[in-house]
Protein backbone atom coordinates (compact mmCIF):
# COMPACT_ATOMS: atom_id res chain seq x y z
CA UNK A 1 0.00 0.00 0.00
CA UNK A 2 2.64 2.55 -0.97
CA UNK A 3 0.20 5.44 -1.49
CA UNK A 4 1.33 7.28 1.61
CA UNK A 5 4.64 8.70 2.72
CA UNK A 6 6.04 5.21 3.42
CA UNK A 7 6.85 2.26 1.22
CA UNK A 8 5.91 -1.26 2.31
CA UNK A 9 9.57 -1.78 3.17
CA UNK A 10 9.60 1.36 5.34
CA UNK A 11 6.52 0.14 7.19
CA UNK A 12 8.15 -3.22 7.88
CA UNK A 13 11.37 -1.56 9.06
CA UNK A 14 9.38 0.64 11.45
CA UNK A 15 6.81 -1.83 12.77
CA UNK A 16 8.55 -5.18 12.63
CA UNK A 17 12.18 -4.18 13.18
CA UNK A 18 11.80 -0.97 15.20
CA UNK A 19 14.47 0.66 13.03
CA UNK A 20 14.78 4.07 14.70
CA UNK A 21 16.83 5.53 11.86
CA UNK A 22 13.93 4.85 9.49
CA UNK A 23 11.44 6.14 12.11
CA UNK A 24 13.25 9.46 12.45
CA UNK A 25 14.03 9.96 8.76
CA UNK A 26 10.56 9.06 7.49
CA UNK A 27 8.73 10.94 10.26
CA UNK A 28 10.69 14.07 9.39
CA UNK A 29 9.91 13.70 5.67
CA UNK A 30 6.20 13.16 6.34
CA UNK A 31 5.98 16.12 8.72
CA UNK A 32 7.76 18.41 6.25
CA UNK A 33 5.27 17.42 3.58
CA UNK A 34 2.29 17.92 5.92
CA UNK A 35 3.37 21.48 6.74
CA UNK A 36 3.61 22.67 3.12
CA UNK A 37 0.88 25.13 2.22
CA UNK A 38 -1.03 23.05 -0.32
CA UNK A 39 -0.98 19.93 1.89
CA UNK A 40 -1.12 21.68 5.26
CA UNK A 41 -2.41 19.50 8.06
CA UNK A 42 -3.32 21.41 11.21
CA UNK A 43 -1.96 20.53 14.63
CA UNK A 44 -5.46 19.81 15.88
CA UNK A 45 -6.11 17.34 13.06
CA UNK A 46 -2.89 15.52 13.86
CA UNK A 47 -3.43 15.67 17.63
CA UNK A 48 -6.90 14.11 17.24
CA UNK A 49 -5.35 11.11 15.54
CA UNK A 50 -2.49 10.99 18.05
CA UNK A 51 -4.93 11.23 20.97
CA UNK A 52 -6.78 8.13 19.83
CA UNK A 53 -3.53 6.23 19.37
CA UNK A 54 -2.27 7.45 22.75
CA UNK A 55 -5.36 5.97 24.47
CA UNK A 56 -4.59 2.61 22.88
CA UNK A 57 -0.94 2.95 23.93
CA UNK A 58 -1.92 3.51 27.56
CA UNK A 59 -3.91 0.25 27.49
CA UNK A 60 -1.09 -1.61 25.77
CA UNK A 61 1.45 -0.52 28.38
CA UNK A 62 -0.87 -0.93 31.37
CA UNK A 63 0.74 -4.25 32.28
CA UNK A 64 -2.49 -6.17 31.78
CA UNK A 65 -2.93 -8.66 28.98
CA UNK A 66 -5.05 -6.51 26.65
CA UNK A 67 -6.31 -7.34 23.17
CA UNK A 68 -5.94 -3.96 21.46
CA UNK A 69 -6.21 -5.22 17.88
CA UNK A 70 -9.94 -4.40 17.68
CA UNK A 71 -9.33 -0.79 18.72
CA UNK A 72 -6.50 -0.46 16.22
CA UNK A 73 -8.69 -1.70 13.38
CA UNK A 74 -11.51 0.63 14.45
CA UNK A 75 -9.01 3.47 14.07
CA UNK A 76 -9.04 2.95 10.29
CA UNK A 77 -12.65 4.11 9.63
CA UNK A 78 -12.05 7.07 11.96
CA UNK A 79 -9.07 8.02 9.82
CA UNK A 80 -11.14 7.81 6.64
CA UNK A 81 -13.68 10.16 8.20
CA UNK A 82 -10.99 12.57 9.43
CA UNK A 83 -9.33 12.53 6.01
CA UNK A 84 -12.59 13.33 4.24
CA UNK A 85 -13.21 16.24 6.63
CA UNK A 86 -9.68 17.51 5.92
CA UNK A 87 -10.34 17.49 2.16
CA UNK A 88 -7.91 14.64 1.59
CA UNK A 89 -4.94 16.24 3.32
CA UNK A 90 -4.69 13.27 5.68
CA UNK A 91 -4.95 10.62 2.94
CA UNK A 92 -1.25 9.74 2.89
CA UNK A 93 -0.97 9.52 6.68
CA UNK A 94 -4.17 7.48 6.76
CA UNK A 95 -2.76 5.05 4.18
CA UNK A 96 0.47 4.70 6.17
CA UNK A 97 -1.35 4.09 9.44
CA UNK A 98 -3.68 1.58 7.79
CA UNK A 99 -0.72 -0.32 6.33
CA UNK A 100 1.13 -0.37 9.65
CA UNK A 101 -1.97 -1.44 11.63
CA UNK A 102 -2.20 -4.52 9.42
CA UNK A 103 1.39 -5.42 10.33
CA UNK A 104 0.94 -4.97 14.09
CA UNK A 105 -1.61 -7.67 14.87
CA UNK A 106 -1.76 -7.93 18.67
CA UNK A 107 2.01 -7.62 19.20
CA UNK A 108 2.86 -5.00 21.84
CA UNK A 109 6.43 -4.49 20.58
CA UNK A 110 5.19 -3.82 17.05
CA UNK A 111 2.56 -1.45 18.42
CA UNK A 112 5.20 0.47 20.40
CA UNK A 113 7.36 0.75 17.27
CA UNK A 114 4.34 2.15 15.40
CA UNK A 115 3.63 4.53 18.28
CA UNK A 116 7.22 5.83 18.17
CA UNK A 117 6.74 6.72 14.50
CA UNK A 118 3.44 8.54 15.10
CA UNK A 119 4.93 10.42 18.05
CA UNK A 120 7.93 11.45 15.91
CA UNK A 121 5.65 12.70 13.12
CA UNK A 122 3.73 14.80 15.64
CA UNK A 123 6.93 16.24 17.13
CA UNK A 124 8.41 17.12 13.74
CA UNK A 125 5.10 18.57 12.58
CA UNK A 126 5.04 20.89 15.57
CA UNK A 127 8.65 21.92 14.87
CA UNK A 128 8.00 22.68 11.18
CA UNK A 129 4.56 24.22 11.53
CA UNK A 130 4.29 27.83 10.45
CA UNK A 131 2.20 30.06 12.66
Q: Do 15 and 114 form a contact (C-beta atoms < 8 A)?
A: yes
Query: Model confidence over 38-82: pLDDT tens digits?
Result: 778 999 999 999 999 999 999 888 877 778 889 999 999 999 999
Higher pLDDT, 18 or 39: 18
Query: Buried (b) or exposed (e) across 10-35, using 16+ Cβ within 10 A?
Result: bbbbbbeebbeebbeebbbebbebbb
The whole-model pTM stands at: 0.92
Determine the angle formed by the axes of helices 20-34 and 108-128, rounding to 10 degrees. Answer: 40
Q: Do 118 and 50 form a contact (C-beta atoms < 8 A)?
A: yes
Q: Do 88 and 3 form a contact (C-beta atoms < 8 A)?
A: no
The mean of the pLDDT values for the chain is 92
User: How many CB atoms neighbour CB 114 within 10 A?
Assistant: 26
SS3 35: coil
Which range (37-46, 78-87, 96-105, 107-116) has the least confidence? 37-46
Amino acid sequence: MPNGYLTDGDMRQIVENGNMQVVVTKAKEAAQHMTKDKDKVTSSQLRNIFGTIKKIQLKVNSGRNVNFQKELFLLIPKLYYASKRANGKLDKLRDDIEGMVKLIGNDTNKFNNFYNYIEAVLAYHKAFEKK
